[in-house]
Structures are given as structure tokens and as C-alpha cells.
């Protein structure tokens, strides 16, 4: 009897854990779609669409060679500057990877060609997405230049 009770308690605990964390895999299609929308909005120089994909408040962080941007508002100002030129991001989708950090946080890794008026330079993008009430949003955006091949 005691063994059955223990088995029932374990089964209930596992059921509760499964209900709290639906599915063991991250919603990969939602993540890729959000990241794709972020890239497309940048390439279209659509400041409003970019803004709709950024996390709120001062937690947002964007680092790139020579620039550190804190907060959504500062990021929108920086994107506005870049959009005056020929800013473009071209991901190499064959290098696209994700890492689930927790139930509501995913990190995207991808190589990309990034250009802003000069020839495109090879870069590695690390983008942390968080799941909010409005859907997946960009919390951090890190651009690291790669050395020439």
C-alpha cells in the first residue's frame, strides 16, 4: 500500500510538472518566425516593426563593435540612425541555432553579413528572446565581428 501511494505521488508530481512546462522542446517555429521578422523589419528600415519586437524598458541591451545601447528607447534611436543609411542584415540560415535558457528564454546564434554603407562584414549574432504576454521579444542583441576568412 505504501509503495502504491509513493508511485501515485510521483506520478502526480510528474503530471503537474508536465502541465507547468508544456512540451520539452521550445516552440522553434515561433522563435525562428520572430527572429525572421526582426531581420526583415531591419532590412525594410521599418522602425515601428523593429520597436514592436524589442523587449520593454531598461533591460534591453544591444552591443556591437563600438556601441553599447541600453533600453528599448535608445535602441530605437540607434536603429533610426542606421536606417538613414543602407543598414542590412543577411543571416546565413545554415548556421542558425537556438539554445533554450529556460521556459521563457531562448538564445539564437547565427552568422550574418552586416552592412551599413560599407561592404558587408562577417558577424556572429547572439539574440536573446523572451516570451512575454505579447509574444516573443528581443531582450539582447549582440553583434560580434568575425575575422576575415
Residue 141 lies in a domain: yes
pLDDT in tens, 5-49: 554 454 444 444 444 444 444 588 999 999 999 999 999 999 999
Is the confidence at residue 72, as pLDDT, over 80?
A: yes
Per-residue pLDDT, 56: 85
Residue 116 lies in a domain: yes
* Domain with 110 in it: 26-145
Looking at per-residue confidence, does 79 or 13 come out higher?
79
Per-residue pLDDT, 148: 72
Per-residue pLDDT, 48: 97
Residue 4 lies in a domain: no
Residue 57 lies in a domain: yes
Per-residue pLDDT, 54: 96
Residue 5 lies in a domain: no
Per-residue pLDDT, 59: 87
Supply angle C-alpha 97, 104, 72, rounded to 5.
Answer: 85
pLDDT in tens, 88-130: 999 999 999 999 999 999 999 999 999 987 788 999 999 999 9
Q: Are 68 and 74 in contact (CB under 8 A)?
A: no
Residue 2 lies in a domain: no
Q: How far does CA 55 lie from the centroid of its chain?
A: 10
Query: What's the whole-number mean pLDDT along residues 52-73?
Result: 91
**Contacts by residues 35-41 (CB-CB < 8 Å, ≥ 24 positions apart):** 35/91, 35/96, 35/108, 35/110, 35/127, 35/129, 38/127, 38/138, 39/89, 39/91
Number of domains in the chain: 1
Per-residue pLDDT, 3: 53
Residue 36 lies in a domain: yes
Residue 100 lies in a domain: yes
Which pTM does this prediction carry? 0.80
For residue 32, the domain's CATH number is: 3.10.450.50
Amino acid at each position: 500500500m505504501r509503495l502504491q501511494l509513493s508511485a501515485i505521488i510521483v506520478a502526480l508530481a510528474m503530471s503537474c510538472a508536465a502541465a507547468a512546462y508544456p512540451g520539452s522542446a521550445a516552440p522553434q517555429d515561433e522563435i525562428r518566425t520572430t527572429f525572421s521578422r526582426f531581420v526583415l523589419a531591419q532590412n525594410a528600415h521599418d522602425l515601428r516593426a523593429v520597436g514592436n519586437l524589442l523587449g520593454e524598458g531598461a533591460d534591453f541591451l544591444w552591443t556591437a563593435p563600438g556601441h553599447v545601447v541600453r533600453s528599448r528607447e535608445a535602441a530605437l534611436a540607434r536603429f533610426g540612425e542606421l536606417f538613414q543609411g543602407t543598414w542590412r542584415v543577411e543571416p546565413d540560415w545554415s548556421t542558425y541555432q537556438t539554445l533554450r535558457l529556460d521556459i521563457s528564454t531562448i538564445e539564437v546564434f547565427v552568422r550574418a553579413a552586416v552592412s551599413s554603407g560599407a561592404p558587408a562584414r562577417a558577424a556572429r549574432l547572439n539574440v536573446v528572446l523572451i516570451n512575454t504576454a505579447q509574444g516573443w521579444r528581443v531582450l539582447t542583441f549582440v553583434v560580434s565581428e568575425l575575422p576575415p576568412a
